[in-house]
Amino acid sequence: MKLKIQQSIIGGIVGTAAMTMIMFLAPSMGMPEMNPAEMLSGMMGFPVFMGWIAHFMIGIVFALAYVFFLNGLLKNINSKVLKGAIFGFAVFIFAQLMMAVMGAIMGGMPSPAGGMLMMMLGSIVGHIVYGIVTVLFIKD
């Protein structure tokens, strides 16, 4: 149990770092600029460094959720990459739902620079990379 928690924490941190690198590279791939820490800090009214802390904490929490909930549901899938892609897509869907809820509570979200379609595409890619990298750090 302790080993799974340690793997989740490390996987969550490394997966979040990989996702963040994809988001920062997005403009060079024709996608809009995406800074999750600025987005989180802006929504919460906190300084950007608190957004970074929240961003990585969320990555760790999702990694723990994978170990304790989703991994059991995906036990019949042998490919860790496929498990990670499914996990990453599930995290993307959850994030979109939470953004919609937060937008409703806060009276709307700011429009993304560069268009919603490209923002969604970049977010899907980033979350799938997060899922794959995270799952690769967690032993079955």
pLDDT tens string 23-38 = 888 888 877 888 888 8
pLDDT tens string 46-68 = 899 999 999 999 999 999 999 99
Paired tokens of 11: 């996987």
Q: How confident is the model at residue 108 (pLDDT cuts 50, 70, 90)?
A: low
| Cβ(44)–Cβ(50) below 8 Å | yes
HSE (CB half, 13 Å, CA atoms) of 106? Answer: 14
Question: What rounded mean pLDDT belongs to the chain?
Answer: 89
Task: Pick the closest to residue 140 from 62, 71, 73, 68 (CA basis).
Answer: 71
Q: What is the pLDDT of residue 34?
A: 81
Q: How do the domains of the chain map onto residue ranges?
A: 2-136
- The stretch 73-96 carries a mean pLDDT of 95
Assess whether pLDDT exceeds 60 at residue 9. Answer: yes
Amino acid at 83: K
Write the CB contacts of 69 (distance below 8 Å, at least 6 apart in sequence): none
Helices then strands, each counted (H, E), the chain:
6, 0
DSSP-based three-state secondary structure for 34: coil
Cβ neighbours, 10 Å, residue 44: 13
Assess whether pLDDT exceeds 80 at residue 103. Answer: no
Could you tell me the pTM of the whole model?
0.89
